[in-house]
Structure 1
Amino acid sequence: MDQFHHGHHVRLRSPVRGAYLHADEDGHGVSLHGRRDSMNVAWAVHLVEGDDAHYLHLHSAAYGRYLASTTASAPLGHHGLRVEQRNYNHTYETALVWLAILSDSGDEILLQHFNGRFLRANGRYLPWNNGASIDYINDIHHISTMMHWVVEDVPARDTMPPLPPPTGLPFPAAMVPSRVITYAWRSFDGDLLASGTIVFTGRSVFRLREELARRLVVGALALANLGADDIVMCLPTRDGRLFPLLVDLPNSRQSLHVAIAITETPTHAALRFADVDAE
């Protein structure tokens, strides 16, 4: 469809709620939020060729996870089944597959999941119910406008935006949740230059870059006279592409796989930075 271009970012806005589909900070949930200038409401589009249609994967620009269906009931006051963020290597690939269908007006789209249900907003009459879910259409002639979505293109910016500045840990380090970070640095030809696993405390993406720089500086980075500012941490996709990690990590203990790109290299030149501040 014309609204979706492979590798580009979009926002999905509910015209009824006036809010955007939002990747929650726990790295798991999906909800509706009003802010449009947030990386959490930007979704990268992956077009997947089907037998008779182009299907979509929608990849969160914030946490590198995919919009996915579940078989769990939606929370109380919401319709249908839950949707959530799932890892790019999740076992059930069909949970990530969506089909965009143009609305009767032609101004909006409906997102149909592989299981036949449609993505919908909640909270028409109870606005504090701000979750997204999936549900069947009971009457094709009376489709709920809560299943309508306006697609907004998010343009690319020329340079990487600054990372959020580090903040002090609110508790002693021993009390702050930690997670496993697996990292890999490959050449543009795919050769492995460095890799490893660390246990990282806190959420600061700025501090994570500093930590990875310290680990890499004894090797090829030092030989090339490179530092932390030359590192771009990226999140891999199902089809092997990379999207930059630009926000603080989810407030959970979920592990992350980070691919490292170096500025002024072909890998870095291929990255796309979403300009969420653009009008």
Structure 2
Amino acid sequence: MEVFQVAHFVRLRSSVRSSRYLAAADDGTRVFLCGRRGVHNAVWAVEPVIGVIPGASAGPYVRLRGAYGRYLVATNYGAGRGPSDGVVAEQRDLGVRPTPPGYLWQAFRRRDSFVLRNGAGRYLRANGRFRRWHKDVSVAGDNASTMMQWRVEVVPPMASRPSLVDLPPQLMHRTNPPVESDLSRVIRYVRADNAGRYGEQEWAPVRVNTNNLTHLRLTLAERLGQNCDAGQITLCVRAGRYAHLSPLLVDLPMGNNPIHIVVLNHGTPGLASIN
């Protein structure tokens, strides 16, 4: 676990498929092997988990939070590829306490690589050793395969926030861009005070018909009034009641699912506390 003790953000690169990284797919649910190292979707925030977790083996553990604020989870659904005992890995909200074992991860060194075991005793696995077009990631019980070995690359925190005109490094749909009906959703938003506090009764809804992050910043700044400058706020997604706030650096995920956004002012202790 020492690798996670010194890292706030990491990339997980398959040791066998060495040009492929674990990435959060832009539907906000799937995870897959991505060949684009520089995109935010391939970066995972590391959250230490404190205390004993019922149903999980002995810790310590971390949670891994992706670009859309959701967590890397081993589900109970059988995986279509990989070992017969494999289950699907995906992104999920964190809406319950204590953290379920499927959300918890440990790293164990294997020479210059690591295997990642979750709280239920299964191991994160890249697929497609021979069928290279397969990009699936699963979680399985046997850690003997080298497909379960990952290189952990520590990612330094960003020195500054992107401006409104910066194009975020993210997954793009160049051939089949989504249409409006694929993106229309209700955003629930709240503005935090300078300490990062807000009330659960303060959420307000707004419907948007695009997943564009800049458009959402401008829309929420207009909704919040004259004392809100779109260039001086950061939008943070809260993916579940007990999820950590996650600065949104990419466009919203595809789909119509509602999303909760907390608006934080630049230069405030509230924003500094989550950086």
TM-score band by shorter chain is 0.7 to 0.9
Q: Distance in 1 between matches of 2:132 and 2:140?
A: 18
CA–CA distance in 2 between the matches of 1:171 and 1:121? 28
Checking the alignment, whether the CA contact within 8 Å between 2:70 and 2:93 is kept in structure 1 is yes
Partner residue in 1 for 2:273: 270
Larger gyration radius, structure 1 or structure 2 = 1
TM-score (norm 2): 0.84
Q: How far, CA to CA, are the matches of 1:130 and 1:180 in structure 2? A: 31
Provide the residue aligned with 1:236 in structure 2: 238
Structure with greater proportional strand content:
1
The alpha-carbon deviation at position 15 of structure 1 amounts to 1.1
Q: What residue in structure 2 maps to residue 46 of structure 1?
A: 47
Post-superposition offset of 1:206: 0.5
Question: Partner amino acid for 2:231?
Answer: D
Map Cα deviations across residues 54-83 of structure 1 (whole Å, 9 max, x no partner): 1111000x11100001111112x3331101
In structure 2, the gaps of 5 or more residues are: 53-57, 169-176
Tell me which amino acid in the other structure corresponds to 1:55. Y
Q: Is the 8 A contact 1:6 1:46 kept in 2?
A: no
Q: Give the counterpart of 1:102 among 109, 115, 135.
A: 109
For residues 194 and 210 of structure 1, do their structure 2 counterparts lie closer, same or farther at Cα, with a shift above 3 Å needed?
farther
Number of residues of Structure 1 aligned to a counterpart in Structure 2? 255
Cα 1:31/1:114, change in 2 over 3 Å:
same
Distance (whole Å) between structure 2 residues aligned to residue 150 and residue 171 of structure 1: 34
Aligned pairs for 1:183-202 within 5 A: 183-187=189-193, 188=195, 190-192=197-199, 195-202=203-210
* CA distance in 1 between partners of 2:234 and 2:120 (Å): 37
- In structure 2, distance between residues paired with 1:95 and 1:211: 36
What's the CA shift for 1:101? 1.7
Structure 1 residues 240 and 186, CA gap change in structure 2 (3 angstroms): farther
Find the counterpart in structure 2 of residue 8 from structure 1: 8
Give me the TM-score of the superposition, normalised by structure 1. Answer: 0.83
Aligned-pair identity (%): 37
Q: Is the 8 A contact 1:6 1:45 kept in 2?
A: no
Q: Does 1:245 align with 2:248?
A: yes
- The one-character-per-residue Cα deviations of 1:119-162 (angstroms, maximum 9, x if unpaired) are 0000001111111001111xx7xx11100111100101221123
Distance in 1 separating the partners of 2:178 and 2:91: 28
The 5 A counterparts of 1:130-279 are: 130-137=135-142, 143-162=144-163, 173=180, 175-187=181-193, 188=195, 190-192=197-199, 195-217=203-225, 222=226, 225-236=227-238, 241-272=244-275
Aligned pair in 2 of structure 1 residues 16, 7: CA closer, same or farther (>3 Å)?
A: closer
Provide the rounded CA distance (Å) in 2 between the counterparts of 1:171 and 1:110. 36
Match of 1:82 in 2: 88
Q: Is the 8 A contact 1:68 1:84 kept in 2?
A: yes
| Counterparts of 1:26 and 1:269, CA distance in 2 | 29
Are the counterparts in 2 of residues 67 and 83 from structure 1 also a CA contact under 8 Å?
A: yes
Residue 191 of structure 1 deviates from its aligned partner by 4.7
Shift of 1:239: 5.6
The one-letter code of the counterpart of 1:53 is G
Unpaired segments of 5 or more residues in structure 1? 273-279
Distance 1:33 1:259 in 2: 29
TM-superposed deviation, 1:118: 0.6
